[in-house]
Amino acid sequence: MRNSILIIDDEKNICTSLTYALEDLYRVVTTTNPQEGLTLLKENKFDVILLDLRIGRVSGLEVLKQIKEIHPQIVVIMMTAYGSIDSTIEAIKSGAFTYLTKPLNISELMITIEKALEFIGLNEKVEHLSNALKMKYVYNGILGKSPSMKNIFDLIDKLKDVDTNVLITGESGTGKELVARAIHYGGKRSNEKFVEINCAAIPEGLLEGELFGHKKGSFTGADRDSIGKFEFADKGTILLDEIGDMGLILQAKLLRVLEQKEVTPLGSNIPIKLKARVLASTNRDLKKLMEEGLFRKDLYFRLNVIEIKLPPLREKKEDLPLLFNHFMEVYNKEFGKQVIKLSTATQELLLNYSYPGNIRELSNIMEYGILMAKGDTLELEDLPEKVKAGKTYMNLEYEVDSLVGLPLDEIEKRMIKATLELNKGHRKDTAKMLGISERGLRNKLKEYEL
């Protein structure tokens, strides 16, 4: 079956001459109306589109964007008589494969179309291999082939159909929520609700009502009954995220709920049977918090029947190539790009980067890079400046000597300042990266006058 080409150009003679030149090798369809071209694309399969940069009063760049919304992976070759550098760069950024200037050189056009079709074939092959890798190395939405991740997959498999309480620990961005979802959706409760509540994001005074619910009139402003997350989860799973940030008073009430397996809404004397499975996660060191009197030992042991400890990305470098491919696929689809490989320099840098923000940071890096990439290869110049500099707060080998002999509070001050700069002043991300609460970060900033 012959490959098909759609030509969109407002000059009829261009459409006619291109049809004549290409029809022996390809199925050619032409139109001088961009809207008709979009309709044809929706109703037919085309391999390549030749698109004029200016179609009467219509911008070809705008048509290109609409084409990519309909078919993100289709190859578009721009044609222009204007040779505008700005326009061609914008076209490439918007997802065009390449551009040719008018009057067209037919030999050059034929070679370009052949390259485009080769690119399509390569892309399909890469996608096929990517899907094959995913089938082998994906467990309920989690990618990994490192020994540590295989052990975690085995543990999830053993836990998914039992009701044992599980504590999921690890640095910010390591995928704790994904593990919780894998336990829920991989097991017998998969058809029930999965409810997540971030204990650090809700003020302490409101968290109790969010968890347990309240009755109308139970406190000022309670103008109606409210169902708590435990009751709402019903027979499903509730994830208590950032459990280390929960206050001691509420910890005691949560312990009672877990021990008695019933929840009593604020303002009510009628307990409700706890049906949901309880999972908890944290990026904080709960043992250290217990030593400091900030976390109850009895609650810790009630939650931590089984612990799943997620390793940071820097300790499972074997998983990086899988994640590179995964995020390239995700952001290629989102931006209508065809970035299918990393340059040698890019790959070397990304394999040796320390990823203080773990998988979440890698996702952000790849999103930025795919957006900036100009062709089918992710180059070093496409990466964020902080990555190219290779300076992260987790990679302190080059400045350890400068910290020796300093008071601990000065080291802490420098660490907080550096992390705040790394996160461009975003306090929530900074607190997560440092493993402290936002309230704790505010106090430290005030203490150190930062």
Question: Of 426, 432, 388, which Cα lies nearest the Cα of 282?
Answer: 432
Domains 4-132 and 144-309 share a fold: yes
DSSP category for residue 319? G
By DSSP bridging, strand 277-282 and strand 272-273 are unpaired
- Tokens representing residue 119 in the block: 């690119």
Q: Shortest CA distance to 338 belongs to which of 371, 367, 375?
A: 375
Q: Which of 11-20, 248-257, 309-318, 332-341 has the lowest mean pLDDT?
A: 332-341
46-75: pLDDT as tens digits: 999 999 988 888 888 899 989 988 888 788
Bridge partners of 196, per DSSP, are 239
The predicted pLDDT at position 99 comes to: 82
- Report the CATH number of the 399-448 domain: 1.10.10.60
Token pair in block for residue 114: 């052949």
CATH no. for 316-389: 1.10.8.60
Q: Is 102 exposed, middle or buried (0-12, 13-18, 19+ CB in 10 A)?
A: middle
Phi, psi of 357 (to 5 degrees): -95, 10
Concatenating the DSSP letter of every residue in 351-370 gives HH---TTHHHHHHHHHHHHH
Q: What is the pLDDT of residue 398?
A: 37
Name the DSSP class of 266. Answer: B
- Report the pLDDT value the prediction gives residue 92, as an integer from 0 to 100: 73
Return phi, psi of residue 46, to 5°.
-125, 145
Which single residue is written with the structure tokens 């299918």? 340
The domain ranges of the chain are 4-132, 144-309, 316-389, 399-448
Which residue carries 């204990």 as its tokens? 199
H or E element, residue 178: helix 176-185
Q: What pLDDT score does 385 carry?
A: 85
pLDDT tens across 388-418, in order?
876 444 444 334 445 556 678 778 888 888 7
Virtual torsion, Cα 210, 215, 217, 220, nearest 10 deg: -10
**Fold of the 144-309 domain:** Rossmann fold (3.40.50)
Which tokens in the block code for residue 100?
A: 């040719």
pLDDT, residue 275, reads: 92
Report the topology of domain 4-132: Rossmann fold (3.40.50)
pLDDT per position as a tens digit, 158-217: 999 999 999 999 998 899 999 999 999 988 998 999 999 999 888 887 898 899 988 887
- CA dist 178 and 312 (Å) reads 14
Output the pLDDT for position 136: 54
Amino acid 254: pLDDT: 94
Indicate the average pLDDT of the chain: 85
